[in-house]
Amino acid sequence: MNGVTTLLLALTIASQAAQRPAEQRFDMTVRSDFFAGFAGDDARLKKGMDACEQTLAGNPKHAEALVWHGSGLAFEAGQAFRKGDAQTGGELWDRGMREMDAAVSLEPDNVGVRIPRGALLLQATRFMQPEMTRPLIEKAIGDYEHVLELQSSYFSTLGDHPKGELLFGLAEGYSRLGQLDKARMYFERLTSDAPTSGQTPKAKQWLADGTLPKAQGLGCVGCHK
């Protein structure tokens, strides 16, 4: 699965798993444009970003608009880095992080805010220097663990897909940090709680030999509600 496909998959999970009525969900306003934008349609990404900016102009503290806009900036940062423009990439990354962090500060118990930040960090850190990644992976795991706590009363009612994505993120994150006992706990929980998840074969591989298939690109951003 390539990076764009994984990114879109997680955003889809965010939408499919949301519990709020559709008319109250900000993601329904922008998701198709972000999907297209992350798949390479710059005009659609701009449309999604513009929608976020319009919302934020009316309500600068709209946490979900902030986290989506911040994820868009982080995506654009990656594009700039790939083109060799480190200065622009760094500026976009810093802005994206500030927006995503501000969104979490505004609504720390909003699953639709926590997972987009955490998932983007888990994936983006794959392409950073190792010395830069640890605090970002730890932040991402913190987001995922908080989501798991928030979902504890209804987690069993979720489909295997969102359950698997959340548990896999935790397991892989801990594996990357070298905290293998915690990684094993979450991989085992994934295989038992989400046996039909697309992540289950990867979990079984890790449990068998301690390895995972090599990631190919930027991955999940979603809310797994």
With beta carbons less than 8 A apart as the criterion, state whether 114 and 149 touch: no
220 lies in some domain: no
Q: How many domains does the chain have?
A: 2
Other CB atoms within 10 Å distance of the CB of residue 156: 9
Written as one letter, the residue type at 134 is R
219 lies in some domain: no
Enumerate residues 6+ apart whose C-beta is below 8 A from 36.
44, 45
Domain range for residue 109? 3-143
Helix axes 160-177, 180-193, angle to 10 degrees: 170
pLDDT in tens, 60-117: 999 999 999 999 999 999 999 999 999 999 999 999 999 999 999 999 999 989 988 9
Residue 163 sits in the same domain as residue 120: no
Q: Which two tokens stand for residue 165?
A: 């994505």
101 lies in some domain: yes
pLDDT in tens, 146-204: 999 999 999 999 999 999 999 999 999 999 999 999 999 999 999 999 999 999 999 99
